[in-house]
Amino acid sequence: MRSIIRLLVVAVFSVVFSSSSCKKEVVSNIVFGEEISDVDGNIYQTVIISTQQWMAQNLMTTKYNNGTQIPHIITDTGWRKHRAHAYCWFNNNYSYASDNHYGAMYNWFAVETGKLCPTGWHVPSNAEWDELENYIYNEFNQNSSVGTYLKSEYGWDHDNVVPFGNNYYGFSALAAGERNSGSGYFGLEHQFGKWWSSTKENGFKSWNSGLGYWSSGLYRGYANQSSGYSVRCIKD
C-alpha cells in the first residue's frame, strides 16, 4: 500500500528561488528541498538545514533500496529474541503509525545493512547528528533548547514547564515512542522520539539521538541494537 506523506506548513511569507541543482522553496525559516520516494512508493518532503538535507518525516519503508523485504516482527517475544534486521509499526498498527506520521520502527541491524534509505540517501552518522546540533546551537547560542527547534508543534505531551516545539526548520520531529529491546513492548508515545545513527559504539550498542517532552534539549546516547527506533535519512 502506498502512503503519501505531506507536510502542511502555515507561514507568513514565502520566497521561491532556483539553484543549478534543484528548485528550493523558503517558507519563513524553512528551506524545502525536493521530494523523494522509497521503493514502497512512500513520498517524503525534505528540508535543508545549513549544509545538510534531511527527510522531514520518519522513514516507513518495508523494503531495502534493492527491493529486498525487511523481516516484519510482530510478537513481543519475537522482537525480544530476534538478533537480525527487522522492522515493525507502533503497537503493530500500520494505519495508526501512518496516520500519525510515525513511520516504521527499525532495529539497528536494519540500519547496519546500509540499504535502508532511498538511493542517494543514508542513515546519518553520529557525527552528522553532531553537526546538526552544533549548527542550531551556534545559531541561537542555546544548547539546552536545540530540541525546541526540531520538535513538531503537535503530538507531544506537555508538562507546563518545557516550551512546545516550534518546528523552526521544518524538521517536524514527533514523539513516536520506541520498542523495547528487552521486553518487545511498545512505549513512550507522545513522550519521546528516538532516531538511530549509523554509528556503532560496540558489539551490542549503537548511537541514537532523542527528544523528550520533558526537555528542550537533544538527547545523545547509545542503546541496545535490538531496540526499535525511528529513522531519518540524510542526503549523501
Q: Is the Cα torsion angle 214, 220, 222, 227 positive or negative in sign?
A: positive
State the Rg of the chain over Cα: 17
Separation of alpha carbons 133 and 152, rounded Å: 16
Q: Residue 199: is its pLDDT beyond 70?
A: yes
pLDDT for residue 15: 33
Inter-residue contact 116 to 106 (CB < 8 Å): yes
Query: What phi and psi values does residue 136 have, to the nearest 5 degrees?
Result: -65, -40
pLDDT for residue 32: 96
**pLDDT tens-digit profile of 90-124?**
999 999 999 999 999 999 999 999 999 999 999 99
**24-33, 77-86, 201-210: least confident range:** 24-33
Separation of alpha carbons 93 and 91, rounded Å: 5
Q: List C-alpha distances in Å: 113 to 21, 22, 63.
A: 29, 29, 12
Separation of alpha carbons 84 and 226, rounded Å: 8
**pLDDT tens-digit profile of 123-180?**
999 999 999 999 999 998 766 789 999 999 999 998 776 778 999 999 999 999 999 9
Separation of alpha carbons 217 and 214, rounded Å: 9
